[in-house]
């Protein structure tokens, strides 16, 4: 038995024993889906949205990383001072534009600490590093100095310092300040047009 308009294509229906068409007969099927144009439009919209989010996150990401660097160095200075007091040996901190490292006093020499929490570290971003020790500016170069600029003493005291980290195009800078009693505090400050 043939059902349908012969111009659109005939469908053969299966008859059951009673002679009526079976409900299991194949029926014409029209697939529904998205056109190529619709898929391309959605793809473009998603790409634009992803680009906008990436740019927004990238702009704030540098300042976030800088804040994390300031918090990390403050915590490590506190830890270094505890270790100096426990071990009875002074621990020094050397800073450069690329990062910072700790060293331990061995009589007249400073031995670099290479492992553990006090291992050498790099800044997450490339900040402008400004250091003042006891109120006087200290130069921070591309290379580490021969002797540490700051020290945690075995007596529990610390070289008083103020470290500022800023990005050239950012409006905020991050400050790490240390008092002689070993107290270390971080804060966010307005950048003064560097």
24 found inside a domain:
no
Domains held by the chain: number? 1
| Structure-model confidence comparison of residues 162 and 107, the more confident one | 162
User: Rounded mean pLDDT of 70-84?
Assistant: 92
- Number of Cβ within 10 Å of residue 167's Cβ equals 19
Mean pLDDT over residues 171-186, rounded?
A: 87
Q: How many CB atoms neighbour CB 91 within 10 A?
A: 27
The structure tokens 């070993």 sit at 182
Is residue 4 situated within a structural domain? no
Residues in Cβ contact with 44 at an 8 Å cutoff, skipping those fewer than 6 apart: none
* 89 Cβ neighbours under 8 A, 6+ residues apart: 104, 105, 106, 154
Instruction: Give residue 34's pLDDT band: very low, low, confident or very high (50, 70, 90).
Output: confident
User: Residue 103 pairs with which residues in a beta bridge?
Assistant: 92, 112
Give me the residue label for tokens 């991050």.
174
Higher pLDDT, 142 or 54: 142
Residue 8 resides in a domain = no
Confidence of residue 56 (pLDDT cuts 50, 70, 90): low
Q: What's the whole-number mean pLDDT along residues 54-71?
A: 75
Instruction: Check if the beta carbon of residue 13 is closer than 8 Å to that of residue 27.
Output: no
Q: Answer whether residue 163 shows pLDDT above 90.
A: yes
Residue 7 lies in a domain: no
CA dihedral 186, 187, 193, 194 (to 10 degrees): 0
Kindly state whether residue 25 falls inside one of the protein's structural domains.
Answer: no
**What is the domain range of residue 80?**
36-190
Looking at per-residue pLDDT, the higher value among 59 and 63 belongs to 63
What's the CATH number where 66 sits? 3.55.40.10
pLDDT greater than 50 at residue 159? yes
Predicted local distance difference test score (pLDDT) of residue 69: 92
- CA dist., res. 176 & res. 157, Å (int): 16
Residue 3 lies in a domain: no
pLDDT greater at residue 72 or residue 6: 72
């Amino acid at each position: 038995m043939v059902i349908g308009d012969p111009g659109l294509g005939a469908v053969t229906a299966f008859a059951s024993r009673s002679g009526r068409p079976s409900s299991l007969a194949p029926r014409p099927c029209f697939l529904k889906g998205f056109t190529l144009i619709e898929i391309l439009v959605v793809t473009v919209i998603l790409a634009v949205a992803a680009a906008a989010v990436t740019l927004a996150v990238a702009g704030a990401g540098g300042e976030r990383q800088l804040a994390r660097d300031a918090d990390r160095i403050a915590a490590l200075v506190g830890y270094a001072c505890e270790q100096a007091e426990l071990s009875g040996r002074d621990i020094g901190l050397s800073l450069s534009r690329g990062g910072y490292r700790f060293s331990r006093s061995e009589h007249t020499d400073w031995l670099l600490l290479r492992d553990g929490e006090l291992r050498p570290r790099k800044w997450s971003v490339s900040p402008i590093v400004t250091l003042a020790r006891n109120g006087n500016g200290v130069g921070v170069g591309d290379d580490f100095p021969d002797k540490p600029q700051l020290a945690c003493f075995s007596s529990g005291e610390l070289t008083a310092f103020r470290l500022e980290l800023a990005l050239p195009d950012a409006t905020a800078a991050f400050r790490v300040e240390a008092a002689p009693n070993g107290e270390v505090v971080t804060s966010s400050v307005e950048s003064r047009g560097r």
